[in-house]
Amino acid sequence: MKSLSRLLAITKKEVRQLLRDRLTFGMIVGIPVIQMLLFGYAINTDVRNLRTAVSDQANTHLSQQFIAELRETQVVDIVEFVSTPAALEEHLRIGEISVGVVIPADFDRRVIDPERPAVHLLVDGSDPTISNVAIQLRNMPIAFDTRAAKRRSNNIEVRPSYNPERRTPVNIIPGLMGVILTLTMMLFTAVAIVRERERGNLELLINTPVSSAELMIGKVIPYVVIGMIQLALILIVGDVLFQVPMRGSVLDLYLASGAFIAANLSLGLVISTVAKTQFQAMQMTFFVLMPSILLSGFVFPFDGMPPVAQYLGEILPVTHYIRLTRGIMLRDAALIELYPELIALGIFTLLAMTGAALRFTKRLD
Amino acid sequence: MTSEYAIVSRGLSKHFGNLKAVSELDLKVPRGQIYGFLGPNGSGKSTTIRMLCGLLTPTEGSATVLDTEIPGSARLLKPRIGYMTQKFSLFGDMTVMENLQFIGEIYSFPKSGRKERIRELLAKYDLFDQRKQLAGTMSGGQKQRLALACAVLHRPELLLLDEPTSAVDPQSRRDFWANLFRLAEGGTTIMVSTHYMDEAERCHRLAILDRGVKVADGTPQELQAGTGMHIIEVTADDPYHAQEALDEGDVVASVTQLGMRLRVLIPQQVEDPVGVVTRLLDGHGVQADVRETTASLEDVFVAVTMGTVGHAK
Ligand SMILES: Nc1ncnc2c1ncn2[C@@H]1O[C@H](COP(=O)(O)OP(=O)(O)OP(=O)(O)O)[C@@H](O)[C@H]1O
Ligand SMILES: [Mg+2]
C-alpha cells in the first residue's frame, strides 16, 4: 500500500514537471506531427522525372519513336540533347543529369539483332534508388512493332495487393510510427532519469524509502500515456492527410503498441543507468535510432539485407513492431496471428528491464 | 537494545582510485547531540556522510547507524534518517509547497496530519510567503531553509546535514541553529558539517577531518585546551611587515592575519613564546603589542590542519 502510494507520488511529480516544461510538452505533439508531414510528403520511392540527356547518333524514325516512348514513361525528364557520349559523361559527372541515353548510329540494325544491345544507359550509380529505377527502363520493349513486344513482356503482372495504387505514405507511415515512438519513448525516459541525476535530485530520491522499482515504474508511467497519445496523433494525421488505411482492429494495434512502448521504455531505462549526462543519453538514443531506421525494414526491404544485418535487425524492437503495424493496419491481420513478433517484444522488454534493475542501484557508486 | 550512540564507525574508509577520500575513520556520535564535522575542502566530509546514509559503499570498515549495520541494511534506515545534501537537490521546477507535499508522500507521512505538518514547517522555517514560488527561483538561503524543512518533515531520529548554512545570512543562521537545538532537545541526533567556526562552537562535540583523516575530536572546550600551541596575539600598525618578520622565525608554526591583529601559533614546548615573538619583531624594527591568549576553535582548526589551510609554514 505504501509502495503504491510512493509510486503514485513519483508519477504525480513527473506529470507536474512535464506539464510545466513547455518545450518537452511541445515535442510530445510536435515530433510526431512534423515527422509525419516531412516523411509523408517528402519520401517518395515511386521515382519520376529523373533529369536525363540523350545523345541520338542514329536520328532515325525508329530512334525518335523510342525517345517519345521514353518520355511517356514519365520516369525520365529529357532536359537536353547532346552530340557525343563523352558529353553525356561530362554532364553526369557534374551532376546535371542522373541518366544519359546513348542511341548508337546503327540503332535500327541493333534492334533486330538480339545479340547486341540497342541502347546504352549511363546511370548515376552513386544514388541507389536511381540505378534501381534505371534498371526498370531496361525492360522497355523496343521493336518495330512495339505493340507486339508489349504483349510479350507482360507475361507476369504484378499487383501490389494491399497498396494497389503504390502510394508511398501507405508503406511509410506504419513504419514511421515505430521510428517516432522509438525516438520519443527512449529519449524521454532516458533523459527524465539522467536529468535528475545531473541536477542532484537523485541523491535526494535514493535517500528516501522509495525503492528502485517504484522509482523506475513511477517515472515511466506518464510516458506510456504519452506514447499512446502520440500513437493516436499519428493515426489521425495518417488518416486525414495520407488516407492510410486501418484495415485491422484498432484495439490490436494499441495492444501491439503497448508491448512496443514497454520495450522502448525499458531500453530508455537501460540507457539512463549508463549515461552520466543528458548529452550522453541523447547520443546513445541516436546510436539505437540509426539502425532502427536503416535495419528494421522501414527504409530497405528486410529480405534484401545481408544475414548479419538481418540478425541485427531482429534484435531491434522496431523491426517487430513494423511487422505488426503493417500486418494489422494494411493486411488486416489479427494480433494473435502475429504472435511471434509479440513474443520477441516481450523477451526484449524482460531482458532490458532485468538489465536496468540490476544496474540501477540505490547508491551513488 | 538501543545503544547510547546514534553512530559508531569503525575504520570507515572510502577510496576513489588512488585517492583515499576517507581513511580509517572512527567516530562515536552520542544520541540527542549535535555533532559537528569540520575540515577543509576535499577533506572527506560529504563522502563520510554519504557512507553513513548508505549512498556510498565503504571501501573498508563499517558503521552502526541507529543500531543498523552499514553497509548492508541501509534500506531499513531510510525512513529513520533525514539527509540534507550539500548541493540543492529538491525540484527547482516545483513550488515550495509541492516539494514539501512530495516529500510527505514519499515518506508516507500520515495523510491526516500532513497538511498541519507542512503548515508548521512553513512557519518554522519562515517560508510561508514563498510557498507558491518555484523552488529553483529562490535565493540560496531560502533554498537551504526549504531543504532543511524537507529533511525534518518525517521527524527522523538522525539528521545528516551537509553544510546546511553555507548560503544563509548570520541572522537566519541563528534561527537555523535555534531550530537545530530544539530538534536535539526533542531527541534527534544531528550530524552537521560546516566551515563556520561560530557554528562549530555551538556543537556538543565535533570532529576535524584533514585529507580524509580524523585529526581531532572532542567537545569544543577539550579541543581548545588541547591544541599543543601557545596562541600569541600581535597587534601592529604595520601587520604586513610584522608578518614578514614572523615568517622568518623557526619556531613559528603559523601566522593568521585578522585585520590589524595577527594570531601566531607557537608549539607548546617553546619557552617564553611572548619573548620569542617580541624579539623577532624587534629584530625587524616592527612596533607591536604582544600578548598570549586562549585558543579559539579557529586556532585549533589551523593547528590540526596545518600545511593545508591558512597561512601556515
Ligand atoms: N565520486 C567521486 N569520485 C572521485 N573522487 C571523489 C568522488 N567524490 C569525492 N571525491 C574526492 O574525494 C575527496 C573528498 O571529497 P568530499 O566531497 O567528501 O569533500 P568535502 O570535505 O565534503 O569538501 P567540501 O568542503 O568542499 O564540500 C575530494 O578530493 C574529492 O575530489
Ligand atoms: Mg562536501
Tens-digit pLDDT profile for residues A289-303: 999 988 988 888 888
User: Which ligand is closest in space to the CA of residue B38?
Assistant: 1
Mean residue pLDDT across chain A: 84
Nearest CA in chain B to A202: B89
Domain region containing A257: 168-359
The number of folded domains in chain A is: 2
- Asked if A205 and A313 sit in the same domain, the reply is yes
User: DSSP letters of B159-211?
Assistant: EEEESTTTT--HHHHHHHHHHHHHHHHTT-EEEEEES-HHHHHHSSEEEEEET
Asked whether the predicted pLDDT for residue A156 surpasses 60, the reply is: no
C-alpha cell at B188: 534527534
Of the residues B47, B89, B144, B163, the best mutation for testing chain A's interface (the one with the most A CB atoms within 10 Å of its CB) is: B89
Residue reference for cell 511487422: A323
Distance from CA of B51 to the nearest CA of A (A): 10
Nearest CA in chain B to A15: B94
Of A102, A136, A161, the last residue of a domain is A161
- Asked if A100 and A207 sit in the same domain, the reply is no
Q: Is B71's Cβ below 8 Å from some Cβ in A?
A: no
User: Which ligand is closest in space to the CA of residue B23?
Assistant: 1
B150: Cβ–Cβ under 8 A, 6 or more apart, which residues?
B84, B90, B99, B100, B103
Please report whether residue A186 resides in a domain.
Answer: yes
Query: Hey, which residues does A101 pair with through a beta bridge?
Result: A54, A121
pLDDT band at residue A322 under the 50/70/90 scheme: very high
Strands B5-16 and B60-65: antiparallel
Question: What is the C-alpha to C-alpha distance for residues A82 and A76, in angstroms, rounded to an integer?
Answer: 16
The more confident residue out of B3 and A217 is: A217
The whole-model pTM stands at: 0.80
Of A131, A161, A191, the last residue of a domain is A161
- Asked if A73 and A115 sit in the same domain, the reply is yes
- Asked if A203 and A348 sit in the same domain, the reply is yes
pLDDT band at residue A324 under the 50/70/90 scheme: very high
Q: Is B46's Cβ below 8 Å from some Cβ in A?
A: no
pLDDT band at residue A142 under the 50/70/90 scheme: low
* Strands, E assignment, chain B: 5-16, 19-30, 34-38, 60-65, 68-70, 81-84, 158-162, 189-194, 205-210, 213-218, 229-236, 254-258, 261-267, 288-293
Nearest CA in chain A to B71: A363
Please report whether residue A347 resides in a domain.
Answer: yes
* Share of residues in chain A with pLDDT > 70 (%): 88
Q: Is B143's Cβ below 8 Å from some Cβ in A?
A: no
Of A161, A183, A206, the last residue of a domain is A161
Residue reference for cell 511509410: A172
C-alpha cell at A173: 507511415
A183: Cβ–Cβ under 8 A, 6 or more apart, which residues?
A31, A285, A289
By the 8 A CB rule, do A181 and A227 touch? yes
Query: Hey, which residues does B68 pair with through a beta bridge?
Result: B65
- Asked if A116 and A220 sit in the same domain, the reply is no
Nearest CA in chain B to A210: B106
- Asked if A86 and A144 sit in the same domain, the reply is yes
ipTM for the complex shown: 0.81
Asked whether the predicted pLDDT for residue A97 surpasses 80, the reply is: yes
Least confident window among A21-30, A68-77, A122-131, A279-288: A122-131
User: Which ligand is closest in space to the CA of residue B162?
Assistant: 2
Give the closest of A199, A200, A208 to B107, CB-based.
A208
Of the residues A208, A363, A365, the best mutation for testing chain B's interface (the one with the most B CB atoms within 10 Å of its CB) is: A208
- Asked if A200 and A140 sit in the same domain, the reply is no
The order of strands in the sheet holding B68-70 is B19-30, B5-16, B60-65, B68-70
- Asked if A237 and A344 sit in the same domain, the reply is yes
What does the pLDDT average to over A167-187? 85
Asked whether the predicted pLDDT for residue A171 surpasses 80, the reply is: no
What does the pLDDT average to over A25-37? 85
Please report whether residue A32 resides in a domain.
Answer: no
Asked whether the predicted pLDDT for residue A273 surpasses 80, the reply is: yes
Please report whether residue A218 resides in a domain.
Answer: yes
Please report whether residue A34 resides in a domain.
Answer: no
B277: Cβ–Cβ under 8 A, 6 or more apart, which residues?
B232, B234, B246, B249, B252, B264, B266, B290
Question: What is the C-alpha to C-alpha distance for residues B15 and B60, in angstroms, rounded to an integer?
Answer: 9
Q: Which of B20, B25, B45, B52 to mutate to test the pocket of ligand 1 (most atoms within 8 A of CB)?
A: B45
Query: The domain spanning residue A119 has which CATH number?
Result: 3.40.190
Asked whether the predicted pLDDT for residue A27 surpasses 60, the reply is: yes
Show the domains of chain B with their CATH numbers.
5-223 (3.40.50.300), 227-305 (3.30.70.100)
The more confident residue out of A166 and A287 is: A287
- Asked if A129 and A173 sit in the same domain, the reply is no
Sign of CA dihedral B218, B223, B227, B228: negative
The predicted pLDDT at position B162 comes to 93
Mean pLDDT by 10 residues, chain B (313 residues): 83 91 91 91 92 90 89 85 93 94 93 92 91 92 91 94 88 87 92 90 91 88 82 84 81 83 85 83 82 82 65 40
Burial (CB < 10 A; 0-12, 13-18, 19+), residue A160, is exposed
Question: What is the C-alpha to C-alpha distance for residues B194 and B173, in angstroms, rounded to an integer?
Answer: 12
* Ligand 1 surroundings by CB, under 6 angstroms: B 16, 19, 21, 39, 41-47, 86
Length in residues, chain B: 313
Chain A residues with CB under 8 Å of B103 CB are 208
The predicted pLDDT at position A279 comes to 92
Within A94-248, where are the H helices? 107-112, 128-138, 146-153, 168-199, 201-205, 212-242
Please report whether residue A8 resides in a domain.
Answer: no
Please report whether residue A14 resides in a domain.
Answer: no
Between CA B292 and CA B303, with CA B298 as vertex, the angle to 5 degrees is 75
- Give the pLDDT confidence of A125-135 residue by residue, as tens digits: 777 777 777 66
Distance from CA of B116 to the nearest CA of A (A): 19
CA B50 to ligand 1: nearest atom: 18
Distance B56 CA to ligand 1 centre (A): 12
A300: Cβ–Cβ under 8 A, 6 or more apart, which residues?
A294
By the 8 A CB rule, do B34 and B204 touch? yes
Q: Is B90's Cβ below 8 Å from some Cβ in A?
A: yes
- Asked if A228 and A246 sit in the same domain, the reply is yes
- Asked if A152 and A201 sit in the same domain, the reply is no
- Asked if A172 and A313 sit in the same domain, the reply is yes
Number of C-beta neighbours around residue A241 at 10 A: 15
Nearest CA to ligand 1 atom 22: B46
Please report whether residue A26 resides in a domain.
Answer: no
Residue reference for cell 576535524: B208
